[in-house]
Structure 1
Amino acid sequence: MESAASVSALFLEESIQAFHSMKKLADRAMAQLGEEQFHVTLDDESNSLEIMILHMHGNMLSRWTDFLTADGEKPSRDRDGEFEAKGLGREKLLELWEEGWCTLFRALEGLTPGDTTRNVTIRGEAHTVVKAIQRQVSHYGYHVGQIVFLSKHLASNHWQTLSIPRGQSRQFKP
Protein backbone atom coordinates (compact mmCIF):
# COMPACT_ATOMS: atom_id res chain seq x y z
CA MET A 1 0.00 0.00 0.00
CA GLU A 2 1.27 3.44 -0.87
CA SER A 3 2.05 5.94 1.83
CA ALA A 4 0.16 9.19 2.14
CA ALA A 5 3.36 11.04 1.18
CA SER A 6 3.73 9.11 -2.07
CA VAL A 7 0.05 9.64 -2.94
CA SER A 8 0.48 13.35 -2.21
CA ALA A 9 3.63 13.48 -4.36
CA LEU A 10 1.75 11.73 -7.17
CA PHE A 11 -1.14 14.19 -6.81
CA LEU A 12 1.22 17.16 -7.16
CA GLU A 13 3.00 15.58 -10.13
CA GLU A 14 -0.28 14.76 -11.90
CA SER A 15 -1.66 18.24 -11.20
CA ILE A 16 1.42 19.91 -12.67
CA GLN A 17 1.12 17.63 -15.70
CA ALA A 18 -2.56 18.53 -16.12
CA PHE A 19 -1.76 22.25 -16.04
CA HIS A 20 1.06 21.79 -18.58
CA SER A 21 -1.32 19.87 -20.85
CA MET A 22 -3.96 22.62 -20.60
CA LYS A 23 -1.44 25.34 -21.34
CA LYS A 24 -0.09 23.43 -24.32
CA LEU A 25 -3.59 23.05 -25.80
CA ALA A 26 -4.31 26.75 -25.45
CA ASP A 27 -0.85 27.72 -26.76
CA ARG A 28 -1.30 25.56 -29.86
CA ALA A 29 -4.81 26.91 -30.44
CA MET A 30 -3.84 30.58 -30.09
CA ALA A 31 -0.76 30.07 -32.29
CA GLN A 32 -3.14 29.50 -35.21
CA LEU A 33 -4.61 32.99 -34.97
CA GLY A 34 -3.68 36.44 -36.15
CA GLU A 35 -3.35 39.58 -34.04
CA GLU A 36 -6.87 40.88 -34.72
CA GLN A 37 -8.51 37.59 -33.81
CA PHE A 38 -7.53 38.02 -30.14
CA HIS A 39 -10.22 40.71 -29.89
CA VAL A 40 -13.14 38.98 -31.64
CA THR A 41 -16.25 37.99 -29.69
CA LEU A 42 -19.04 35.79 -30.98
CA ASP A 43 -21.74 38.02 -29.46
CA ASP A 44 -22.22 40.74 -26.84
CA GLU A 45 -22.16 38.23 -23.97
CA SER A 46 -19.07 36.34 -25.12
CA ASN A 47 -15.47 36.92 -24.13
CA SER A 48 -12.63 37.48 -26.56
CA LEU A 49 -9.29 35.73 -26.20
CA GLU A 50 -7.97 39.00 -24.80
CA ILE A 51 -10.57 38.92 -22.02
CA MET A 52 -9.95 35.25 -21.24
CA ILE A 53 -6.20 35.85 -21.05
CA LEU A 54 -6.67 38.92 -18.84
CA HIS A 55 -8.99 36.98 -16.54
CA MET A 56 -6.78 33.91 -16.28
CA HIS A 57 -3.71 36.11 -15.73
CA GLY A 58 -5.43 38.01 -12.92
CA ASN A 59 -6.71 34.81 -11.37
CA MET A 60 -3.34 33.07 -11.58
CA LEU A 61 -1.44 35.96 -10.01
CA SER A 62 -4.02 36.25 -7.25
CA ARG A 63 -4.32 32.53 -6.49
CA TRP A 64 -0.71 31.44 -6.81
CA THR A 65 1.30 34.38 -5.41
CA ASP A 66 2.10 33.54 -1.78
CA PHE A 67 -0.13 30.50 -2.22
CA LEU A 68 0.43 28.98 1.20
CA THR A 69 0.51 32.20 3.22
CA ALA A 70 -1.95 34.73 1.77
CA ASP A 71 -5.60 34.62 0.74
CA GLY A 72 -5.98 33.56 -2.89
CA GLU A 73 -8.13 36.61 -3.61
CA LYS A 74 -5.60 39.41 -3.26
CA PRO A 75 -6.87 42.92 -2.35
CA SER A 76 -4.98 44.28 -5.37
CA ARG A 77 -6.90 42.13 -7.85
CA ASP A 78 -9.35 43.96 -10.11
CA ARG A 79 -11.48 41.01 -11.21
CA ASP A 80 -14.13 43.21 -12.85
CA GLY A 81 -11.39 44.98 -14.80
CA GLU A 82 -10.25 41.63 -16.19
CA PHE A 83 -13.47 41.53 -18.20
CA GLU A 84 -12.93 44.92 -19.85
CA ALA A 85 -11.26 44.99 -23.25
CA LYS A 86 -7.96 46.86 -23.17
CA GLY A 87 -7.00 46.56 -26.84
CA LEU A 88 -3.69 44.93 -25.94
CA GLY A 89 -1.61 43.47 -28.74
CA ARG A 90 -0.94 39.78 -29.15
CA GLU A 91 2.64 40.08 -27.88
CA LYS A 92 1.58 41.79 -24.64
CA LEU A 93 -1.28 39.34 -24.13
CA LEU A 94 1.07 36.39 -24.54
CA GLU A 95 3.48 38.00 -22.05
CA LEU A 96 0.64 38.17 -19.50
CA TRP A 97 -0.34 34.60 -20.36
CA GLU A 98 3.20 33.37 -19.71
CA GLU A 99 3.52 35.41 -16.51
CA GLY A 100 0.36 33.81 -15.10
CA TRP A 101 1.47 30.28 -15.93
CA CYS A 102 4.99 30.90 -14.57
CA THR A 103 3.45 32.08 -11.29
CA LEU A 104 1.32 28.93 -11.11
CA PHE A 105 4.16 26.52 -11.92
CA ARG A 106 6.58 28.24 -9.52
CA ALA A 107 4.02 27.86 -6.72
CA LEU A 108 3.19 24.23 -7.49
CA GLU A 109 6.80 23.17 -7.96
CA GLY A 110 7.61 24.67 -4.56
CA LEU A 111 5.09 22.47 -2.76
CA THR A 112 6.01 19.33 -0.87
CA PRO A 113 3.81 16.27 -0.33
CA GLY A 114 3.30 17.43 3.26
CA ASP A 115 1.78 20.69 2.02
CA THR A 116 -1.21 18.96 0.41
CA THR A 117 -3.14 18.70 3.66
CA ARG A 118 -2.40 22.25 4.76
CA ASN A 119 -5.16 24.83 4.59
CA VAL A 120 -5.14 27.89 2.37
CA THR A 121 -7.88 30.48 1.98
CA ILE A 122 -9.67 31.76 -1.09
CA ARG A 123 -11.98 34.70 -0.41
CA GLY A 124 -11.70 33.90 3.30
CA GLU A 125 -12.89 30.30 2.86
CA ALA A 126 -10.56 27.50 4.01
CA HIS A 127 -9.51 24.91 1.43
CA THR A 128 -7.01 22.12 1.71
CA VAL A 129 -4.19 22.56 -0.80
CA VAL A 130 -5.66 19.58 -2.68
CA LYS A 131 -9.06 21.28 -2.90
CA ALA A 132 -7.53 24.61 -3.95
CA ILE A 133 -5.53 22.93 -6.72
CA GLN A 134 -8.56 20.96 -7.92
CA ARG A 135 -10.61 24.15 -7.94
CA GLN A 136 -8.09 25.73 -10.31
CA VAL A 137 -7.74 22.62 -12.50
CA SER A 138 -11.48 22.83 -13.07
CA HIS A 139 -11.51 26.61 -13.56
CA TYR A 140 -8.60 26.73 -16.00
CA GLY A 141 -9.84 23.66 -17.87
CA TYR A 142 -13.13 25.46 -18.41
CA HIS A 143 -11.41 28.53 -19.84
CA VAL A 144 -8.91 26.56 -21.92
CA GLY A 145 -11.89 24.79 -23.50
CA GLN A 146 -13.34 28.20 -24.35
CA ILE A 147 -10.02 29.33 -25.81
CA VAL A 148 -9.77 26.21 -27.98
CA PHE A 149 -13.40 26.52 -29.10
CA LEU A 150 -13.06 30.19 -30.04
CA SER A 151 -9.69 29.63 -31.72
CA LYS A 152 -11.08 26.76 -33.77
CA HIS A 153 -14.07 28.85 -34.79
CA LEU A 154 -11.88 31.79 -35.80
CA ALA A 155 -9.31 29.66 -37.65
CA SER A 156 -12.18 27.99 -39.52
CA ASN A 157 -10.94 26.01 -42.55
CA HIS A 158 -7.31 26.69 -41.59
CA TRP A 159 -7.65 24.97 -38.20
CA GLN A 160 -5.04 22.33 -37.44
CA THR A 161 -6.40 19.79 -35.00
CA LEU A 162 -4.87 19.54 -31.53
CA SER A 163 -5.68 15.86 -31.20
CA ILE A 164 -6.66 12.96 -33.45
CA PRO A 165 -8.08 14.28 -36.75
CA ARG A 166 -11.62 13.33 -37.66
CA GLY A 167 -11.88 9.98 -39.41
CA GLN A 168 -8.43 8.85 -38.22
CA SER A 169 -9.24 7.30 -34.83
CA ARG A 170 -8.59 3.75 -36.05
CA GLN A 171 -4.95 4.62 -36.74
CA PHE A 172 -4.48 5.35 -33.02
CA LYS A 173 -5.99 2.15 -31.60
CA PRO A 174 -3.55 -0.24 -29.89
Structure 2
Amino acid sequence: MKEDLFIKSAIQQFKDYKALAERTFAQLNEADFHFQPDTANNNLAVNITHLHGNMRSRWTNFLTEDGEKEWRSRDAEFEEQHLDHTALLRLWEEGWKCLLGALESLRPEDLEKTVTIRTKPLTVIEAIHRQLAHYSYHVGQIVFIGKHIRKDQWQDLSIAKGQSAAYNDQMKTEIK
Protein backbone atom coordinates (compact mmCIF):
# COMPACT_ATOMS: atom_id res chain seq x y z
CA MET A 1 0.00 0.00 0.00
CA LYS A 2 1.43 3.40 -1.01
CA GLU A 3 0.38 5.03 2.26
CA ASP A 4 2.43 2.50 4.26
CA LEU A 5 5.42 3.27 2.05
CA PHE A 6 5.01 6.98 2.65
CA ILE A 7 4.94 6.57 6.42
CA LYS A 8 7.96 4.23 6.39
CA SER A 9 9.84 6.61 4.09
CA ALA A 10 9.07 9.62 6.29
CA ILE A 11 10.24 7.77 9.39
CA GLN A 12 13.48 6.81 7.65
CA GLN A 13 14.08 10.37 6.43
CA PHE A 14 13.64 11.76 9.95
CA LYS A 15 15.96 9.08 11.35
CA ASP A 16 18.58 9.92 8.71
CA TYR A 17 18.59 13.60 9.69
CA LYS A 18 18.71 12.68 13.38
CA ALA A 19 21.76 10.52 12.67
CA LEU A 20 23.52 13.35 10.78
CA ALA A 21 23.21 15.61 13.79
CA GLU A 22 24.31 12.86 16.16
CA ARG A 23 27.39 12.14 14.05
CA THR A 24 28.17 15.83 14.39
CA PHE A 25 27.63 15.78 18.17
CA ALA A 26 30.03 12.83 18.43
CA GLN A 27 32.84 15.01 17.06
CA LEU A 28 32.34 17.79 19.61
CA ASN A 29 33.15 18.45 23.24
CA GLU A 30 30.98 19.92 25.98
CA ALA A 31 31.94 23.55 25.35
CA ASP A 32 31.27 23.23 21.62
CA PHE A 33 27.54 22.89 22.27
CA HIS A 34 27.57 26.48 23.55
CA PHE A 35 29.87 27.96 20.90
CA GLN A 36 28.17 31.08 19.55
CA PRO A 37 29.28 31.67 15.95
CA ASP A 38 27.91 35.24 16.02
CA THR A 39 24.90 37.14 17.33
CA ALA A 40 22.73 36.27 14.32
CA ASN A 41 23.10 32.50 14.64
CA ASN A 42 22.04 30.00 17.28
CA ASN A 43 24.48 27.70 19.00
CA LEU A 44 23.95 23.95 19.12
CA ALA A 45 22.34 24.06 22.57
CA VAL A 46 19.73 26.53 21.34
CA ASN A 47 19.08 24.46 18.22
CA ILE A 48 18.55 21.40 20.41
CA THR A 49 16.20 23.14 22.85
CA HIS A 50 14.22 24.61 19.95
CA LEU A 51 13.90 21.27 18.16
CA HIS A 52 12.87 19.64 21.43
CA GLY A 53 10.14 22.20 22.03
CA ASN A 54 8.94 22.08 18.44
CA MET A 55 8.85 18.28 18.30
CA ARG A 56 6.98 17.94 21.56
CA SER A 57 4.49 20.61 20.54
CA ARG A 58 3.90 19.36 17.00
CA TRP A 59 3.79 15.64 17.68
CA THR A 60 2.03 15.39 21.05
CA ASN A 61 -1.58 14.47 20.26
CA PHE A 62 -0.69 15.07 16.62
CA LEU A 63 -4.04 14.06 15.14
CA THR A 64 -6.27 15.71 17.73
CA GLU A 65 -4.74 19.03 18.88
CA ASP A 66 -3.24 22.10 17.23
CA GLY A 67 0.50 21.58 16.79
CA GLU A 68 1.27 24.81 18.63
CA LYS A 69 0.50 23.92 22.23
CA GLU A 70 -0.37 26.52 24.87
CA TRP A 71 2.27 25.07 27.21
CA ARG A 72 5.08 25.64 24.71
CA SER A 73 7.37 28.59 25.36
CA ARG A 74 8.90 29.03 21.91
CA ASP A 75 10.72 32.28 22.67
CA ALA A 76 12.48 30.68 25.64
CA GLU A 77 13.80 27.95 23.34
CA PHE A 78 16.03 30.58 21.70
CA GLU A 79 17.55 31.73 24.98
CA GLU A 80 20.71 30.06 26.26
CA GLN A 81 19.66 27.50 28.88
CA HIS A 82 23.19 26.67 30.15
CA LEU A 83 22.43 22.95 30.02
CA ASP A 84 25.23 20.43 30.04
CA HIS A 85 25.83 17.89 27.30
CA THR A 86 23.90 15.15 29.12
CA ALA A 87 20.83 17.35 29.65
CA LEU A 88 20.91 18.55 26.04
CA LEU A 89 21.07 15.00 24.69
CA ARG A 90 18.21 14.02 27.01
CA LEU A 91 16.08 16.79 25.45
CA TRP A 92 17.23 15.71 21.99
CA GLU A 93 16.13 12.11 22.58
CA GLU A 94 12.85 13.14 24.20
CA GLY A 95 11.91 15.26 21.18
CA TRP A 96 12.78 12.57 18.68
CA LYS A 97 10.97 9.91 20.73
CA CYS A 98 7.81 12.03 20.61
CA LEU A 99 8.12 12.55 16.85
CA LEU A 100 8.94 8.96 15.95
CA GLY A 101 6.28 7.59 18.28
CA ALA A 102 3.64 9.73 16.60
CA LEU A 103 4.75 8.69 13.12
CA GLU A 104 4.98 5.01 14.03
CA SER A 105 1.42 5.11 15.38
CA LEU A 106 -0.03 6.47 12.12
CA ARG A 107 -2.23 4.23 10.04
CA PRO A 108 -2.55 4.67 6.27
CA GLU A 109 -6.05 6.14 6.62
CA ASP A 110 -4.65 8.86 8.93
CA LEU A 111 -2.82 10.42 5.98
CA GLU A 112 -6.17 11.69 4.65
CA LYS A 113 -6.94 13.56 7.88
CA THR A 114 -6.48 17.25 8.51
CA VAL A 115 -4.36 18.56 11.39
CA THR A 116 -3.64 22.13 12.41
CA ILE A 117 -0.45 23.98 13.15
CA ARG A 118 -0.99 27.48 14.53
CA THR A 119 -4.63 27.21 13.44
CA LYS A 120 -3.61 26.51 9.81
CA PRO A 121 -5.23 23.33 8.45
CA LEU A 122 -2.85 20.89 6.77
CA THR A 123 -3.18 17.36 5.55
CA VAL A 124 -1.16 14.91 7.60
CA ILE A 125 1.14 14.51 4.60
CA GLU A 126 1.65 18.30 4.40
CA ALA A 127 2.36 18.47 8.12
CA ILE A 128 4.94 15.68 7.85
CA HIS A 129 6.64 17.41 4.91
CA ARG A 130 6.58 20.73 6.76
CA GLN A 131 8.30 19.28 9.80
CA LEU A 132 10.80 17.26 7.77
CA ALA A 133 11.86 20.46 6.00
CA HIS A 134 12.02 22.36 9.29
CA TYR A 135 14.12 19.74 11.06
CA SER A 136 16.48 19.24 8.13
CA TYR A 137 17.03 23.02 8.09
CA HIS A 138 18.13 22.95 11.73
CA VAL A 139 20.20 19.79 11.28
CA GLY A 140 21.99 21.62 8.46
CA GLN A 141 22.76 24.42 10.91
CA ILE A 142 24.05 21.91 13.44
CA VAL A 143 26.34 20.29 10.88
CA PHE A 144 27.57 23.67 9.63
CA ILE A 145 28.44 24.83 13.15
CA GLY A 146 30.14 21.49 13.86
CA LYS A 147 32.25 21.85 10.72
CA HIS A 148 33.09 25.42 11.68
CA ILE A 149 34.24 24.34 15.13
CA ARG A 150 36.24 21.31 13.99
CA LYS A 151 37.73 22.91 10.87
CA ASP A 152 40.50 20.63 9.52
CA GLN A 153 39.68 18.00 12.14
CA TRP A 154 36.14 17.54 10.77
CA GLN A 155 35.25 13.99 9.76
CA ASP A 156 32.95 14.01 6.75
CA LEU A 157 29.43 12.71 7.24
CA SER A 158 28.95 11.77 3.61
CA ILE A 159 31.18 11.57 0.54
CA ALA A 160 34.38 13.57 1.09
CA LYS A 161 35.33 16.25 -1.42
CA GLY A 162 37.03 14.75 -4.45
CA GLN A 163 35.90 11.22 -3.57
CA SER A 164 32.69 10.92 -5.63
CA ALA A 165 34.12 8.62 -8.30
CA ALA A 166 35.68 6.28 -5.74
CA TYR A 167 32.43 6.20 -3.78
CA ASN A 168 30.40 5.42 -6.92
CA ASP A 169 32.82 2.62 -7.84
CA GLN A 170 32.53 1.17 -4.35
CA MET A 171 28.72 1.29 -4.52
CA LYS A 172 28.76 -0.56 -7.87
CA THR A 173 30.94 -3.26 -6.34
CA GLU A 174 28.67 -3.64 -3.30
CA ILE A 175 25.53 -3.98 -5.43
CA LYS A 176 26.94 -6.93 -7.40
Instruction: Output the CA distance in 2 between the equivalents of 1:136 and 1:112.
Output: 18
| Aligned with 2:133 (options 124, 128, 138) | 138
* Deviation, structure 1 residue 62: 0.1
Unpaired stretches in structure 1, ≥5 consecutive residues:
1-5
Instruction: Output the CA distance in 1 between the equivalents of 2:165 and 2:157.
Output: 17
* Deviation, structure 1 residue 28: 0.2
Instruction: Output the CA distance in 1 between the equivalents of 2:129 and 2:160.
Output: 30
| Aligned with 2:119 (options 109, 118, 124) | 124
Instruction: Output the CA distance in 2 between the equivalents of 1:135 and 1:121.
Output: 12
The secondary structure found in structure 2 opposite 1:120 is strand
| Aligned with 2:76 (options 72, 77, 81) | 81
1:19-168 counterparts in 2 under 5 A? 19-168=14-163
Instruction: Output the CA distance in 2 between the equivalents of 1:125 and 1:25.
Output: 30
* Deviation, structure 1 residue 61: 0.2
User: Percent sequence identity over matched residues?
Assistant: 51
Instruction: Output the CA distance in 1 between the equivalents of 2:164 and 2:59.
Output: 38
State how many pairs are aligned: 169
RMSD of the TM alignment (CA)?
Answer: 0.7
Instruction: Output the CA distance in 2 between the equivalents of 1:56 and 1:165.
Output: 28
Give 2:87's aligned amino acid. Answer: K
* Deviation, structure 1 residue 90: 0.7
* Deviation, structure 1 residue 45: 1.1
* Deviation, structure 1 residue 172: 1.6
The secondary structure found in structure 1 opposite 2:62 is coil
Unpaired stretches in structure 2, ≥5 consecutive residues:
none
